[in-house]
Chain A
Amino acid sequence: MLESIRRILGLTWKELLAVLKDPRGRFTLLVPPVFQCLIYGYVATYDLNDVPYAVLDRDRSAASRDLVARLDGSRAFHRLADLYRTEDLKTAIDERRVLLVIGIDSDFERRLLLGQSADVQAIADGRNSNTAGTALGYVGAVVTAFNADWRAAHGQGGSQVRVASRAWYNPNLETRWHMIPSLIGTLTLLQTLLLTAMSVAREREEGTFDQLLVTPFRPVEIMAGKALPSLLIGFVQATNILLVAQLWFQIPFAGSFLTLYTGLSLFLLAAVGIGLLVSSIAATMQQAMLYSFLVMMPFALLSGLATPVSSMPEVLQEFTRVNPLRYAIDIAERVYLEGAGLDLLVPDLWPLALIAIVTLATASWLFRHRVT
């Protein structure tokens, strides 16, 4: 037993050296995750803070100018142009110069003063319909505020119903608070899986795997020796990203680090298991790499990182049950923002454990299978 542990540690040490002694290997493993976390932390947002828009104000009255001034003042918008003809509206949007055109009819103020309702047209570029929807939502909010003030100023009564919104766990609804905890799992998965898959494939391609097999190592020991270094590197990467989230973006951490790391270790085991499974199937490094991609792409896309799992069709929601990243993102998010404890996370933890056990067992069986 002790002998076995010694052998595993020896192999682990050798693996770590193989990966880390190459300065380029060291660099690609440690620097990019931090760098990516920084960039994507800024990029991965659906919030709009710079919507270029144009106004086609046919009324040019005090009321219409007030409305436009409110849009200008809302920080999310900046006015690029004042249009005078309807034709200009089309080119402005077609050529992507503006995202939004606000059209105000020439009888705008007159109708308002008569106590009638007046229309404001808002035309958005739907080439990215999510952005368009968000921008129109902002316009709606500005107009609602305008209405309330207009009614108050002109003594127009009528009972009104306000919607008072409040968001739990993320009061300002910052996308970043959702994205960065999710990146801990995503970035770690990408590299851990690839690293594990490539390590066995490299030995196979260079012919050293056969040499390893004739040593007193048992297949399980070889597997453990391959898994441990990836686990360690995975932990280091996750910690780095966590540090960026804490120190740079200062996202409030509501839960406990112990809980987060418990979840992470199960997640990393599952990721390494999948990597070993891929490497036991692949014959060359190229195959290992490409198969890893084949696995990672659906995992990353169907994880809830970019689009919510609940918006997916039933069949694919079922598929996400075998996706370790989905659970990791859920754990990171809930520990981070909700401060969830281990008891609340059980529905995420046991599937991860199951994935780890199944993939590691299958991989070790395949190793042995290949031996005989």
Chain B
Amino acid sequence: MNATSRSRQRGFAAKQRRVWSLVRKETQQIVRDPSSIAVGVVLPVILILVFGYGLSLDVKNVPVAVVLEDPSPDAVELAAGFQLSPYFEARLLTSMSRARELMLARQVDGIVRIRPDFARHLSQGDAEVQVLVHGTDANKARIIQIYAQGAVGQWTARRAAEGKDVAAGPVMVRDRIWFNEANDSHHFLVPGLVVLVMTLIGALLTAMVMAREWERGTLESLFVTPVRIDEVLLGKTIPYFALGMVGLSLCLLAARFLFQIPVRGSVWVLAGGSMLYLLVALGIGLLISTATKSQFVASQVTMLVSFLPAFMLSGFLFDLRSMPAVVRAITTILPARYYVAILQTVFLAGDVWGVIVPNAAVLAVMAAVVLLLSRAITRKKLD
């Protein structure tokens, strides 16, 4: 009894030693290969800067041409309203043909036209402002339309306050955007960045590294040593897990201190959810590399099944609610979707357990499935 437990203990110590030496070998490989460092550290930094400073869905200072064809005081006042608006950079013109030229050359993104009979129609009770937008970027165009409506609305409200006879309302919308009062798109784009970084490090890097070992045959030579499959897998995952956590810390620090994005929930929940997702990503990377055994194919497949879906189908950029039912059904098998739900909630709303617990549970199940599956596949391929 005593002897068996001692030998088991010795076996465990040996196992630990073997895993540890694999981890050390892998870590040295990461540190020595500039491209691993590039993906583990440089890419997150670039992404942070690009996301934090470059990407923005907020439309401000839109160049528009205001064509004032009516010299009446009412019309001039309305045109001034556009010039005062922080959303527009209005150029006052008097001819429509010049405005058309500017729009065709894309010097302006929209034209606001106040027709010659504006004041006359206004006194009759029904005037019209024409807004033409350049529709190639539909999202931007729609935002411009909403802002134009807002500028006219403010002008109407000002006139009503001055006691002039205008019809404002009667129903007014008082809108509020919770969790993001400033309506700043960075608040949801930067949490999304965390997903991309974790996917890159977890899935892509791991897939490449394992596929290389298969391609070079070094994995098979590892199998004739006393090292066992799960030890090899552990030795591979631990260093990349650590690299992923470094990437996460970089993102969190940047989000908090560079971009002043609030973290309203607890950091521990965030870290826990991230670890779960990282495990899933690592498992997917291992699976792909074992299934393809070629760096080229592994890289392409990883892009297709992990990175691009994390970008397009996870709900961090394009809202899941806009997608047709079929596509939405596809997204339910994507781990990134659940991670994004956790991230957006913990960052912006707080520890809402009703969101966190179900999503974390799905991630945990996925992690278990892919890790066990990759272990099973690796064993089979040995024969």
Residues of A within 8 A of B (CB): 22, 24-25, 28-29, 32, 36, 39-40, 42-52, 67, 91, 93-96, 99, 111-112, 115-134, 136-137, 139-140, 143-144, 146-147, 150-151, 156-171, 173-175, 177-178, 190-191, 194, 198, 202, 282, 284-287, 289-291, 293-294, 297-298, 301-302, 304, 306-308, 310-313, 315-316, 333-334, 337-338
For window 140-181 of B, CB contacts with A under 8 Å fall at: 140-143, 145-146, 148-149, 152, 155-156, 165-181
In the complex, A47 Cα to B188 Cα: how many Å? 17
Are B318 and A161 within 8 A (Cβ)? no
Are A93 and B178 within 8 A (Cβ)? yes
18 interchain pairs (CB within 8 A)? A22-B297, A24-B294, A32-B300, A67-B171, A94-B350, A94-B355, A126-B177, A126-B179, A156-B170, A162-B126, A164-B129, A166-B130, A175-B139, A194-B299, A198-B295, A293-B204, A307-B185, A312-B56
Is B131 in the interface zone, CB < 8 Å from A? Answer: yes
Q: Which residues of B contact A36 (CB under 8 A)?
A: 304, 308
For window 211-255 of B, CB contacts with A under 8 Å fall at: 212
In the complex, A111 Cα to B349 Cα: how many Å? 35
A44 is contacted by which of B178, B294, B318 (Cβ under 8 Å)?
Answer: B318
In the complex, A353 Cα to B180 Cα: how many Å? 43
Is B35 in the interface zone, CB < 8 Å from A? Answer: yes
Closest B residue, CB atoms, query A38? B327
Q: Which residues of B contact A118 (CB under 8 A)?
A: 169-172
In the complex, A333 Cα to B208 Cα: how many Å? 35
Is B73 in the interface zone, CB < 8 Å from A? Answer: no
Are A338 and B171 within 8 A (Cβ)? no
- The 4 closest A-B CB pairs, nearest first, are A170-B135, A126-B180, A158-B167, A167-B135
Q: Which residues of A contact B323 (CB under 8 A)?
A: 42-43, 45
Closest B residue, CB atoms, query A139? B173
Q: Which residues of A contact B183 (CB under 8 A)?
A: 126, 129, 132-133
Known interface pairs A124-B178, A294-B43; A307-B55 also in contact (CB < 8 Å): yes
Is B313 in the interface zone, CB < 8 Å from A? Answer: yes
B138 is contacted by which of A116, A158, A174 (Cβ under 8 Å)?
Answer: A174
Are A48 and B142 within 8 A (Cβ)? no
Q: Which residues of B contact A171 (CB under 8 A)?
A: 135
Known interface pairs A122-B176, A164-B129; A290-B208 also in contact (CB < 8 Å): yes
B208 is contacted by which of A43, A168, A286 (Cβ under 8 Å)?
Answer: A286
The smallest C-beta distance from A145 to any residue of chain B, in angstroms, reads 11
Q: Which residues of B contact A308 (CB under 8 A)?
A: 59, 137, 139-140
Are B59 and A311 within 8 A (Cβ)? yes
Are A120 and B167 within 8 A (Cβ)? no
Q: Which residues of B contact A111 (CB under 8 A)?
A: 170
In the complex, A117 Cα to B169 Cα: how many Å? 6
In the complex, A166 Cα to B200 Cα: how many Å? 42
A169 is contacted by which of B136, B212, B318 (Cβ under 8 Å)?
Answer: B136
Q: Which residues of B contact A289 (CB under 8 A)?
A: 208, 295, 299
The smallest C-beta distance from B262 to any residue of chain A, in angstroms, reads 12
Is B378 in the interface zone, CB < 8 Å from A? Answer: no
Are A173 and B170 within 8 A (Cβ)? no
Known interface pairs A117-B170, A164-B129; A294-B38 also in contact (CB < 8 Å): yes
Are A302 and B125 within 8 A (Cβ)? no
Are A286 and B35 within 8 A (Cβ)? yes
Q: Which residues of B contact A191 (CB under 8 A)?
A: 300
Is B124 in the interface zone, CB < 8 Å from A? Answer: yes
Closest A residue, CB atoms, query B295? A285
Is B13 in the interface zone, CB < 8 Å from A? Answer: no
In the complex, A164 Cα to B51 Cα: how many Å? 35
Majority-rule SS of A interface residues: helix
Question: Among the listed stretches B15-23, B266-274, B278-286, B340-348, which one makes contact with chain A, having 4 or more residues with CB under 8 Å of it?
Answer: B340-348
B34 is contacted by which of A157, A287, A306 (Cβ under 8 Å)?
Answer: A287
Q: Which residues of B contact A93 (CB under 8 A)?
A: 178
Is B209 in the interface zone, CB < 8 Å from A? Answer: yes
Are A48 and B322 within 8 A (Cβ)? yes
In the complex, A191 Cα to B355 Cα: how many Å? 37
Contact-size category for B: 35 or more
Q: Which residues of B contact A291 (CB under 8 A)?
A: 35, 38
Q: Which residues of B contact A293 (CB under 8 A)?
A: 39, 43, 200, 204
Q: Which residues of A contact B354 (CB under 8 A)?
A: 91, 94-95
Are B295 and A126 within 8 A (Cβ)? no
For window 291-337 of B, CB contacts with A under 8 Å fall at: 292, 294-297, 299-301, 303-304, 308, 312-313, 315-319, 321-324, 326-327, 330
The smallest C-beta distance from B110 to any residue of chain A, in angstroms, reads 9
Are B322 and A307 within 8 A (Cβ)? no
Known interface pairs A133-B143, A311-B57; A297-B166 also in contact (CB < 8 Å): no
In the complex, A301 Cα to B49 Cα: how many Å? 11
Known interface pairs A290-B38, A297-B47; A178-B167 also in contact (CB < 8 Å): no
In the complex, A363 Cα to B350 Cα: how many Å? 51
In the complex, A127 Cα to B127 Cα: how many Å? 38
Q: Which residues of A contact B321 (CB under 8 A)?
A: 48, 50-52, 99, 131
Known A-B contacts: A162-B126, A306-B55, A307-B54. Give 17 more (CB < 8 A): A42-B326, A44-B312, A46-B318, A119-B172, A123-B176, A125-B178, A126-B178, A136-B177, A147-B171, A160-B127, A164-B131, A167-B145, A168-B135, A190-B303, A198-B295, A298-B50, A302-B55
Closest B residue, CB atoms, query A102? B173
Q: Which residues of A contact B54 (CB under 8 A)?
A: 298, 301-302, 307, 312-313, 316
Is B85 in the interface zone, CB < 8 Å from A? Answer: no
For window 41-65 of B, CB contacts with A under 8 Å fall at: 42-43, 46-47, 50-51, 53-60, 62
Is B352 in the interface zone, CB < 8 Å from A? Answer: yes
In the complex, A133 Cα to B146 Cα: how many Å? 9
In the complex, A120 Cα to B350 Cα: how many Å? 27
In the complex, A111 Cα to B169 Cα: how many Å? 12
The smallest C-beta distance from B151 to any residue of chain A, in angstroms, reads 9
Are B170 and A121 within 8 A (Cβ)? no
Closest B residue, CB atoms, query A154? B170
Are B170 and A165 within 8 A (Cβ)? no
Is B117 in the interface zone, CB < 8 Å from A? Answer: no
Are B128 and A24 within 8 A (Cβ)? no
Q: Which residues of B contact A144 (CB under 8 A)?
A: 149
Is B376 in the interface zone, CB < 8 Å from A? Answer: no
The smallest C-beta distance from B315 to any residue of chain A, in angstroms, reads 8
Are B125 and A42 within 8 A (Cβ)? no
Are B297 and A28 within 8 A (Cβ)? yes
In the complex, A174 Cα to B39 Cα: how many Å? 36
Are B129 and A162 within 8 A (Cβ)? yes
